[in-house]
Chains A and B, each alone.
Chain A
């Protein structure tokens, strides 16, 4: 039968601009959050993580913000480059195992 694909939200930005990708997570008990980048034909690649005892964490050109009150996570990418074009997933982890629950993903398109 015909399969229906997920319709991923798309964010289109100009090269050099800052990008903000948002994610709503599902479980208020989740205490560890990760952002992954997935390029076409490849596996998810770790970008940055944050524990629930923090509300902000910075990496190289990336910042993750966590708002536990509204169960919201965001990924900010500074000076977006064409190589940043990919699908971005947030994932949450809760409890004493490594089970990750992934969001649906956001496609980032960078226009030169």
Chain B
């Protein structure tokens, strides 16, 4: 158990819908990361938050957005869902003292999203 929690574990929805994925980092970690794992793209970095502020951005679609709240939990919002958005979405966290560089990231169990 990494100490990172994610809810829900599974999510089934329809195209065009909007969903919110939630992540609680390990106690004391300030940085939160979101990754997408799909069959054809592997593990892809989406976005990083550090202490409530966006720190780094990957190839995150404009339909996707995230935020980190004052209690450090984070939410990833996916809207106008398409079939191709079906994937595993992982959250990770790290201490954050160096902004995330050279820090071990601990991954949660993931949310499996299926868009029908």
Contact = CB atoms under 8 A, between A and B. Distances in A.
B64 to A, nearest CB: 16
Interface residues of B, number: 33
A112 interface: no
A78 interface: no
A59 interface: no
B45 A101 contact: yes
A4 B40 contact: yes
Contacts of B105: 34, 46, 98, 100
Given A43-B2, A98-B48, A32 B102 contact: yes
Given A43-B2, A104-B42, A96 B101 contact: yes
Contacts of A44: 43, 90, 92, 107
Interface of B: 2, 4, 31, 33, 35, 39-45, 48, 55-56, 58, 83, 90, 92, 94, 98-110
